Amino acid sequence: MSSPVWHPFTQHGLNEPVPLVSRAERAGLFTADGRRVIDAISSWWVTTHGHCHPRVMAAIRAQSEKLDQLIFAGWTHEPAETLARQLVGMMPRPLEHVFFSDSGSTSVEVALKMALGHFANRGEDRHRIVVMAGSYHGDTVGGMSVGARSVFNRSYAPLMFDVDVIPFPEAGHEQATIDAFEQLCGQRPAALIVEPLVLGAGGMKMYPAGVLKALRELCAAHGVLFIADEVMTAWGRTGTLLACEQAGVVPDLLCLSKGLTGGSLPLAVTMARGEIFESHRSQDRAKMFFHSSSYTANPIACAAAVANLEIWSEEPVLERVADLARRQVGHVRRLEGKVSNLRQLGTIVAMEFEESEGAYLSALGPKLMAFFRERDVLLRPLGNTVYVMPPYCISDDDLGRIYTVIGEAIEAFAG
């Protein structure tokens, strides 16, 4: 009997196998047919400390016996209060306010609505959003609108609003990106939204911290709100807690999800500067921030996030991040000259296999994914872009196996 499940980013007409995973531990996924698969991409970039981390699982069990769900409009609970206080203490000032949502996409929607509401409540006619070419900010309508126009969203174009686009800062052409944004600042946009240092679904393209710093400085000079979508890049992926740290910048609005709960449960936050909160605080109920979902600040998910932040504060997580980045360097060196545009930032390694199309729908992508799956390694190429982003607890043996399989794929396909 075929499954009734409709999977994301899956063309069911191709009848590709969909393995059934029954349990997970650290960097291993265990399938119903007895295989152990190495999770080389942290299950879509969410799992930081490893699957089923004991401290996080214990927090989930404990909270599930006390309070499972609560309306968050006008009510509150201790896991949310504790998490919000810890986030404010952990993230850079002046990110003083925490708004909860359910996913990376919704955290972006919240940030966009906060930015537009901020200027509307102040009586300023500023409503344009500036984006970086090639970006991805989610699959909700707002997230699609500020992302690249591509095969990802072509069918839904009538739903999306117009944005202003600055070029991706390609190597040797970084100033063109900065100049393009400076020119747009003259039109008084409301906000700039960027993925700091790394474009995720856009192909793991990386750019220097100096560009991020220059863009932030232009935002400050022209009163443009700076939105950092750190859904993928936060929680150590780029080598620091936030990617923005490497540019020495603090956003006006910060989007966090994925690793917020250590990857265990869906939860997101949008953190905001005080002035954005204050522009929505009024005796006029029409100026409140109109956004929520039924599961906003779910207590069990918040408890998992509190446990994650305790791991960050009590254990040497950044040392583990640095160690993983260091351990990958040797593997990366052995791939030099065999693939195109080999690059690394923190724990993220990416490369292109030589292939003419070089797009998300490249025919090479499914072949590579099947090749890796057959060898019990979970790698999900972005077209002909192969990337590695493992949990921080991964063993030397598992890491070596990942790169051995990539080497085998190079022999099979890159020539």
pLDDT tens by residue, 179-233: 999 999 999 999 999 999 999 999 999 999 999 999 999 999 999 999 999 999 9
The 8 Å CB, 24+ separation contacts for 338-343 are 338/407, 338/410, 338/414, 339/386, 339/410, 339/414, 343/204, 343/206
Is the confidence at residue 362, as pLDDT, over 90? no
Q: What is the pLDDT of residue 360?
A: 77
- Global pTM reads 0.96
Residues 261 and 173 in one domain: yes
Residues 310 and 173 in one domain: yes
Distance from C-alpha of 295 to C-alpha of 190, rounded to nearest angstrom: 29
Q: Coil, helix or strand for 166?
A: strand
The CATH number that applies at residue 373 is 3.90.1150.10
Q: What is the pLDDT of residue 41?
A: 98
* Percent with pLDDT over 70 in the chain: 98
Retrieve residue 284's tokens.
């006029």
Provide the β-strand partners of residue 37.
Answer: 29
Residues 154 and 242 in one domain: yes
- Domain range holding 272? 56-314
Residues 48 and 75 in one domain: no
User: Pick from 408, 403, 234: which is nearest to 327 by CA?
Assistant: 403
Mean pLDDT across 331-335: 97
Q: Residue 251: is the preceding peptide bond cis (ω within 30°)?
A: no
Residues 362 and 290 in one domain: no
Name the CA radius of gyration of the chain, rounded. Answer: 21
Exposed/middle/buried for residue 149 (C-beta within 10 Å: 0-12, 13-18, 19+): middle
Strand ranges for 240-283 from DSSP E: 253-256, 268-273
User: What does the chain come to in residues?
Assistant: 415
Distance from C-alpha of 34 to C-alpha of 36, rounded to nearest angstrom: 7
4 part of a folded domain? no
16 part of a folded domain? yes
- In order of 48, 129, 187, 329, 404, the CA distances from 400 in angstroms are 19, 43, 51, 12, 6
pLDDT bracket for residue 359 (50, 70, 90): confident
Three-class secondary structure assignment of 281-319: CCCCHHHCCCCCCCCCCCHHHHHHHHHHHHHHHHCCHHH
Q: What is the pLDDT of residue 123?
A: 96
Domain boundary among 314, 338, 366: 314
Residues 104 and 253 in one domain: yes
Mean pLDDT across 338-367: 86
Residues 174 and 40 in one domain: no
The CATH number that applies at residue 217 is 3.40.640.10
Retrieve residue 309's tokens.
């932040």
* Percent with pLDDT over 90 in the chain: 93
What is the pLDDT of the chain when averaged over all its residues? 96
Q: How many domains does the chain have?
A: 2
Is the confidence at residue 151, as pLDDT, over 90? no
Distance from C-alpha of 387 to C-alpha of 408, rounded to nearest angstrom: 15
Q: What is the pLDDT of residue 358?
A: 55
Distance from C-alpha of 318 to C-alpha of 309, rounded to nearest angstrom: 13
Q: What is the pLDDT of residue 125?
A: 95
Which residue do the tokens 């769900």 mark? Answer: 69
Q: What is the pLDDT of residue 415?
A: 58
pLDDT tens by residue, 69-83: 999 999 999 999 999
Mean pLDDT across 108-116: 98
Residues 350 and 386 in one domain: yes
Strand pairing class (21-25; 28-31): antiparallel
pLDDT bracket for residue 51 (50, 70, 90): very high
